[in-house]
Structure 1
Amino acid sequence: MSDQPARWSQATVYPDMWLDPDDDPRDSDSVSPDGELATLQDFLKNYRITLRMKCEGLNPEQLARRSVPPSTLSLLGLLRHLAETERDWLNWISDGEPLPKLYGDPDGDFDGAVAEQAEVDAAYEALAREQAATDAALAEHPDLGVRLGKDGIAVRELMVHRIEEYARHCGHADLLRERIDGRVGQ
């Protein structure tokens, strides 16, 4: 007998996938976008959707469940971390005073990820709010070569960094979700 859940998937066509292609909310069957900016935005959108998919259907205890000691990594922590990271990115491209940290300490995003519905709701709200704020600020600068903020970061560099961050954490989310309930990802 094992404490580990059995591997499973909702997919019926390809049993190693998260769900059937026809049920996938990511727009992967259409023609790819034209242009570099639209392509970057499309990849970012799909990774954001993927992260949410990995968290769907879980209760607060499952979302807050840590990976393996001594790590504080959890799906809820990832939601909080990415909200904090979006805020940091907004600070990078701002000329004004930086916005304060959402979760205080450098590890507050993970350490404070506790199994309470109010905390889960707040994490989703913070992530949506911070994504929208960063997206809105970047929408004012469609030229990917423009350099912003005190350090002169190029819009292109920030967009690629955002995609990299979400992609890396979607990999973590795959492993966390499989450990929680055995569901495997695509």
Structure 2
Amino acid sequence: MPRMSDQPARWSQATVYPDMWSDPDDDPRNSAGPSPDGERATLQDFLTNYRMTLRMKCEGLNAEQLARRSVPPSTMSLLGLVRHLAEVERGWRNWISDADPLPKLYGERDADFDGAVGEPAVVEAAYADLEREQAATDAALAEHPDLGERVGKDRTAVRELMVHRIDEYARHCGHADLLRERIDGRVGQ
């Protein structure tokens, strides 16, 4: 006898490779031609693709779904990840600068996740915060074209900051995979 469950059935939008998020021809992360030349361009390309992956994992969901928590006691949600990454982008600018630290966007520790509530205005603000903070961090790093240059109070290499950004997005895209599957069953890379 089949059991009733509130678990969504697994599915993918892809038809060519059913374990992928979208078909290769429809995937905005796939670009025609060879990969970028140079270390900085390669690092930026990976970062851009992970940023896009996070957005793709959030597409098509309403505010309540975006704010839905994974499993107790975790406070993680897709909306929380968007807010967290906006907060983290701002924090990276503190690594670059010798000035006083920028204030946190959302306040106390974990407020980025705790404040991720299913309201359209909160979702809209989170995406605006993320775009603004990404652009500001990109601009701050662009002022330092030498990847070996050491910046900020801790004298961190620009290369290390770039790699750390990729690592942060990649890790959270893995979380986003699981969160999205839990919400509506959609799977894929």
Query: What TM-score comes out, normalization by structure 2 length?
Result: 0.97
Question: CA offset at residue 28 of structure 1?
Answer: 4.5
Q: Deviations over 1:67-94 (max 9, x none)?
A: 0000000000000000000000001111
| Aligned amino acid, residue 40 of structure 2 | L
The corresponding residue for 1:150 is: 153
Q: Partners in 2 of 1:95 and 1:27 — Cα distance? A: 37
Q: Partners in 2 of 1:30 and 1:127 — Cα distance? A: 29
Identity %: 83
**Alignment of 1:180 onto 2:183:** yes
| Aligned amino acid, residue 25 of structure 2 | D
1:101-180 aligned at under 5 Å gives the runs 101-180=104-183
The corresponding residue for 1:81 is: 84
**Alignment of 1:93 onto 2:124:** no
Question: CA offset at residue 48 of structure 1?
Answer: 0.2
Moved over 4 A (4+): none
Question: CA offset at residue 97 of structure 1?
Answer: 1.1
Q: Partners in 1 of 2:179 and 2:32 — Cα distance? A: 27
Question: CA offset at residue 142 of structure 1?
Answer: 1.1
Report the RMSD for the aligned CA atoms in angstroms: 0.7
Out of 10, 18, 22, which is 1:19 matched to? 22
For structure 1, list consecutive stretches of 5 or more residues without a partner in the other structure: none
**Alignment of 1:3 onto 2:23:** no
Q: Deviations over 1:103-152 (max 9, x none)?
A: 10111000000000000000000000000000000011111000101110
Query: What TM-score comes out, normalization by structure 1 length?
Result: 0.98
For structure 2, list consecutive stretches of 5 or more residues without a partner in the other structure: none
